[in-house]
Structure formats: structure tokens, C-alpha cells
Amino acid sequence: MPGGSEKDPGDDLRIDSTGTVHPLSVHASQALRARAGEWSLVDSPPEVVLAMRRGGAPRALRLAGQVRTPGALCDVVQMIEQGSYGGELLLIEDAAERSIFFERGRVIGAATDVPRESLGEILWRFGAITRDQLDEVVRTAETIGKRVAETAIDLEFVEPEELFKMMSRQVEEVFYGAVHVERAAFYLFDGFDEARLTRRQPMSTGQLLMEAARRMDELRFFREKVPSDAWVPVRSAAAASKTAAAELAEVFAQCDGRRSVAEIGRRIGQLEFEVTRAVYQLVTAGLVTVAPPRPEGAGAITLIYNRAMAEIHRACDAAGVGAELRSGLAQFTMGTGVYMPLFHGAGPLDDGSLDAARLAGNIGSLAGDDADAWLAQQLVEHASFALFHAGSILPRDADPTLGARVADVIGPLRPPS
């Protein structure tokens, strides 16, 4: 039976001496139930069982195999181009499926069920629509039974010309995602269902292959300085006296110390790879540095604060001045207007930690438009006072590394300098 991507060795099926097939795992049972019907066995070597569904309009299976290294699928695609083949190249990676459609060796379309490669997500990642607009498009499309593309136009969120451009970018992203897969199963069929093509978009297979290879090679270098698209480019001190190259100016203008690589891409209509390349060049030129992703949401922010406060409380308790620390913190909290309503019902516990859920509920009208930034600022200031007060009551020889440890813990909450 044609299966999914290569998994770890295990007992999925057993064929007994009568030829009866027995599923031996939940995965195998589900896979077989989904394929109920009549099948024809295809001649295959002893270590392979291959069957094709009977009935309907069968397609010839030209090629099948396994991908075991990133880029291995490039050889198959190159063969399709050189042979001027037409049909569908299906790639199955665990539960994800991608199809690339060919005509005379040229890519003319693609289909995917990988969420980040859906047309809606491409529209959002390129900044063509906002996340709220995408949510509305998806809800409306499901309600009226239309495609996302048609619904986005009906709602006047995108113009047809912009949509067609994004549909081409989607095909490119599906192609790059397919050829970069590390482990999967692939099948090359003659022909495909025309109904799956919303629009023919002929593309040079050779150019797509070259771009895929370039991305794969370059990304290895980029990741040394830009670990992921969640990291935040921060202008360096040298940026005040330097000018970014013309091709980097648009990305450099967006580096405000708060936006991540992915967010910058959405603002200027570029995908993460393109922005990552520009940020890498800006880092190399000394114009920016990159900071780790800032925590998002009251839970993540409070967790960092709690870790910092626990360090301070442990040090003071070990030196016998824990009661003085807590007394000083209580006075500071009561004497500073914002902390009483912010901390109401949230603690602190004996180790100085706060309940994140209660804290989130208390923020309400206290914060401005950027609740995360506001909460981080308040908690940094509170932890900074706790560290200052601890320094004033701890013996001089007590825990000399406390300040450095707390600074490391609380660092992600501080705004980039």
C-alpha cells in the first residue's frame, strides 16, 4: 500500500500465510480504513508492497521513493524538467501533503495542506492583509462555501492584481518547502485533476531549483547570526554614523528594536527569508544586532519576573535577611500607586512570585495600547528595586554573583538599548 513519509521502524502490518493483511498499529488501522475499496497489486520487489486503487480514471505512477536528506527531491524535479514531463509530484511528510503540478517540465501550480503555506497565510505573511482581516476571510469563506481567494476580493481586502501576485508567491513557497523537506515519501503521477488548479501560473522549473538551492545554502550562514525569524533587529550605536546600502534601506528603516524579522517582512511585503538575508547583511555591516524574541503575554512575562524574584529571595533568605527584604518590598509596593491594583489578589507568594492569571486580569485599563510592554516595564522596575534593596541589606560577602544572575534573567523584559 502507498504510505506516508518514512517513520521509525515498527510493526504496522502483518501479512499471514493466507495473504490476509492485519494492521498492527493504530496508524496502520486508520490508514487502511481510509483506503477501503478494491486495489490492484503492482509488481514490486519482495521488500515493497505497492497497490493502486481500481475504478475511476487511474493515473500511471511514473516514480515513487523516499526523501532522506534536505534537497534530495531536487534530483527528481530536475528529471521532470529535463524529460519535459507533465503530471503531479506528490510529497507526503508525516500528515502534511504538498502537490506540485507540471506541464511539459514547467511548474504550473501547487497545492498544500501545510497551514503556513495556505493562501490566507501567504497574504498575511506578505502584509497584504492583517490578521483580523484573514480571520474574517476564513470565517466568511467557510460560511458561504467560497474559496479564500474569491472571498478576499469580495470583501475588498485585496485587489485582483495583488491576489494573483500572492498566488504566484504561494506556488513558490510550496515548491521551496517541498524540496527542503528532510524525510518524506514522494510519488510522481501522470496527469492531475484540473479542478485543483485555481489558476495556471507557468514558472521556470530551473529557476525555482536554483533559488531553492541558494536559499538552502545561504540559510546555513544566516542562522549563525539570525537564529530565527522571531529574533528582533536592534540598531547599533554605529548606525548613527553609518548609512545602509540602498538595497538594505527599506529593511533597515523598519529596525526599531521591537519588530521581529517576521513582523518586518509583513510590513514591507517580503517573506522571512528575504528579510533574514537583509538583516544578516546589516549585522555584518555593524548597523544592527539581533536580540532574542521578547516574551509575549502576561504569562510569559510574569514567568521571567518570578524567576528573577526567586533568585533575590533565595539569596536574602540564605543570608538571614529575608524578612527585611519582604518588608521593604511591601512598603515599596504600597507606596507606588500602580502596584497595588496590578498585584491585587496575585500575590506575592513567599518566594516573591506572582500569579500570572490574576495579574493578567488586573491589567485592564491600567495598560495602554501595548499591554505587554507596559507590564514588562512595571515588573522590571519592581524587580530592580528588589535587587537594589537586597544589595543594601545583604552582607558584602554574600552571593557576589546575584546582580549578574538577576540581570541575565530579567534581560528579555528590558527594551532593546
pLDDT (tens digit per residue) in 356-406: 999 988 887 787 777 888 899 999 999 999 999 999 999 988 888 898 889
Per residue, the 3-state secondary structure of the chain, as one string, reads CCCCCCCCCCCCEEECCCCCEEECCHHHHHHHHCCCCCEEEECCCCCCCEEEECCCCCCCEEEEEEECCCCCHHHHHHHHHHCCCCEEEEEEECCEEEEEEEECCEEEEEEECCHHHCHHHHHHHCCCCCHHHHHHHHHHHHHHCCCHHHHHHHCCCCCHHHHHHHHHHHHHHHHHHHHCCCCEEEEEECCCCHHHCCCCCCECHHHHHHHHHHHHHHHHHHHHHCCCCCCEEEECHHHHHCCCCHHHHHHHHCCCCCCCHHHHHHHHCCCHHHHHHHHHHHHHCCCEEEECCCCCHHHHHHHHHHHHHHHHHHHHHHCCCHHHHHHHHHHHHHHCCCHHHHHCCCCCCCCCCCCHHHHHHHHHHHCCCCHHHHHHHHHHHHHHHHHHHHHHHCCCCCCCCHHHHHHHHHHHHCCCC
* pLDDT surpassing 90 at residue 158: yes
pLDDT (tens digit per residue) in 238-297: 888 888 889 999 999 999 888 899 899 988 888 888 899 999 999 999 999 998 887 888
State the pLDDT confidence band at 416, using cuts at 50, 70 and 90: low
State the pLDDT confidence band at 322, using cuts at 50, 70 and 90: very high
Mean pLDDT of the chain: 89
Say what the pLDDT of residue 10 is. Answer: 53
pLDDT (tens digit per residue) in 48-59: 888 888 876 678
Dist. CA 164–CA 129, nearest whole Å = 14
Say what the pLDDT of residue 81 is. Answer: 95
* pLDDT surpassing 90 at residue 207: yes
Position of cell 515588573?
A: 379
pLDDT (tens digit per residue) in 79-116: 999 999 999 999 999 878 999 999 999 999 999 999 98
* pLDDT surpassing 50 at residue 334: yes
* pLDDT surpassing 60 at residue 14: yes
Does the model's pTM come out above 0.85?
no
Dist. CA 22–CA 15, nearest whole Å = 6
* pLDDT surpassing 80 at residue 8: no
What is the average pLDDT across 125-143?
91
Say what the pLDDT of residue 173 is. Answer: 93
pLDDT (tens digit per residue) in 281-299: 999 999 999 988 878 888 9
What is the average pLDDT across 109-128?
92
What is the average pLDDT across 304-314?
94
* pLDDT surpassing 60 at residue 124: yes
State the pLDDT confidence band at 346, using cuts at 50, 70 and 90: very high
